Chain A
Amino acid sequence: MAWVWFHRFGSPPHFYRLARRLAPWFGWPALILCVAGLIGGLGLAPPDYQQGDGFRIIYVHAPAAWLSLMVYVVMATSAAVGLIWRMNVAHAVAASCAPIGASFTALALATGMLYGRPMWGTYWEWDPRLTSELLLLFLYLGYMALRSAIDDVARADRASAVLAIVGVVDVPIIHYSVIWWNSLHQAPTVMKFGRPSMPASMLVPLLLMLAGFTFYFGALLLTRARGEILRRERNAHWISAALEES
């Protein structure tokens, strides 16, 4: 009995309607949080005493980098759920994650390069975190390439799920092996335990942006997953009824 909700989750019509109902609950908070975070970060926060106004790019850079990792974990988790319980909806969610994650990774890389130019004097430095971000982008691209190379949807789902799970085991190893090099990158300031080494006027907008980006990802994922389900179930009977409701 306790598993009924789980199996209902796996039914495409149910998930489609749920996603349509939930998407605004992610989209609007995302907009509000991002606007508040941007006003706080670009307007109210004081310039950094060393980096001047250049540091303000972290209000986009840090959330993008955070999401690039989180999306991979979400993708691998839903891929594993799809593989274990043979749940088509979970595979659709994993498939929708990949382009979003790749975009956030590319955004984190681009903003990181722009950040590096004034701070390090160069766009690209073989710094551990930039490098592991680049490798993460390759993992996303490999996932998407494998998925598009296999014509049969069910087989593409399961093969790419195995790849995502192998990747999620390997990502920490890649990350820590890359850290072996000497780093120019400043140590993480937000995730440090204890007192964060950032004044509240800078930190609060950053946290708002982190929350805003996460909600934005939720809205994006629900919308993309709906599209993916529509594409997969295009011959099913429930589609016309569901489309008329909206």
Chain B
Amino acid sequence: MRASRVAFIAAAASLMGRDLRLALRRAGDSLLPVGFFIVVTTLYPLALDPSLSSLRDIAPAALWVGALLSSLLALDLLFRDDAQDGALEQLALCGQSFAGLLLAKTAVHWLLTGLPLVLVAPLIAITLGAPYAAMAGILAALLLGTVALSLIGAVGAGLTLSLRRNGPLLALLVLPLAVPVLIFGARATALAVQGEPIAAPLYLLAAIAVLFATLSPWALAAAVRIGLE
């Protein structure tokens, strides 16, 4: 392995360790999006007919709209503090690949906000009447979907970095771009709930996640650099 690559991996690992340590010392912040997800999905049975058979039909929609909104809410945590205290500028100047380091940051962000959401999703799915047999499918779809949402959301967060109040604008930027994830994710979940094979939408979801993972670091690096100027 070349020395430069070793240096990059060391830098990325120490950055990820730092982000994880910072987040764990303020664990409340990272858990907020999951709490939001749970509350939002609880609203559906209250607003609709609470019989499990009718909830089963809307369970995929409730899960995915909840996941989309909560990932949007979580984006505020991604760059805000590091942009304010200048840590992002240091990353841009440190000589390592900025796109790679931002990808590492996004991976930590997914670990802190995306993964907990995936882990509580089976609980929510059961309260919405999804059968136990569907859990593997729901987990797989949300696992891929939250990765894709974190990646595309990070670009939006980078673009709105320099703005003070960016919430509604971020939603307008990110949600249309995230529509494919919503469609394939909800389709895979719906098929899993009905007990049908979910391979086709799952593969498409995986393809989108891979595409976003490949392309979004460059857009992310460009967006954050513009925001830092």
Contacts and interface: CB of A to CB of B under 8 A. Distances in A.
Given A162-B222, A166-B219, A146 B176 contact: no
A163 B208 CA distance: 18
Give the residue among A135, A139, A142, A158 with the most B Cβ atoms within 10 A.
Answer: A142
B175 interface: yes
A190 interface: no
B99 to A, nearest CB: 13
A180 interface: yes
Given A138-B176, A162-B222, A174-B176, A149 B163 contact: yes
Interface stretch (B11-19, B44-52, B134-142, B178-186): B178-186
Contacts of A146: 159-160, 169, 173
Given A145-B169, A155-B226, A158-B226, A174 B179 contact: yes
A146 B180 CA distance: 22
A1 B226 CA distance: 32
Give the interface residue-count category, chain A. 20 to 34
Per DSSP, chain B at the interface is helix
B183 A177 contact: yes
Interface centre among B173, B175, B215, B219 (most CB of A within 10 A): B173
Nearest to A165: B219
Contacts of A106: none
Interface string B146-165: 00000010010001101100
B94 to A, nearest CB: 22
A179 to B, nearest CB: 10
Given A145-B172, A149-B169, A155 B162 contact: yes
A173 interface: yes
B69 interface: no
B177 A170 contact: yes
A32 interface: no
A139 B178 CA distance: 11
B162 A178 contact: no
A150 interface: yes
A162 B162 contact: no
Contacts of B160: 146, 149
Contacts of B169: 142, 145-146, 149
Contacts of A83: 222
Interface string B59-100: 000000000000000000000000000000000000000000
Given A165-B219, A174-B179, A150 B162 contact: yes
A37 B159 CA distance: 43
B176 A162 contact: no
B159 A162 contact: yes
Interface in B189-229: 204, 208, 211, 215-216, 219, 222-223, 226-227, 229
A173 B212 CA distance: 11
Contact of B180 (A158, A159, A167, A174): A174
B109 interface: no
Given A145-B172, A174-B177, A174-B179, 13 more contacts: A142-B172, A146-B160, A149-B160, A155-B162, A159-B223, A159-B226, A162-B155, A170-B177, A173-B180, A173-B211, A174-B176, A177-B183, A180-B187
Interface of B: 152, 155, 159-160, 162-163, 166, 169, 172-173, 175-177, 179-180, 183-184, 187, 204, 208, 211, 215-216, 219, 222-223, 226-227, 229
Interface of A: 83, 135, 138-139, 141-142, 145-146, 149-150, 155, 158-159, 162-163, 165-167, 169-170, 173-174, 177-178, 180
The 9 A-B residue pairs with the shortest CB-CB distance in the complex, in nearest-first order? A177-B180, A138-B176, A142-B172, A142-B173, A177-B183, A158-B226, A173-B180, A135-B176, A170-B177
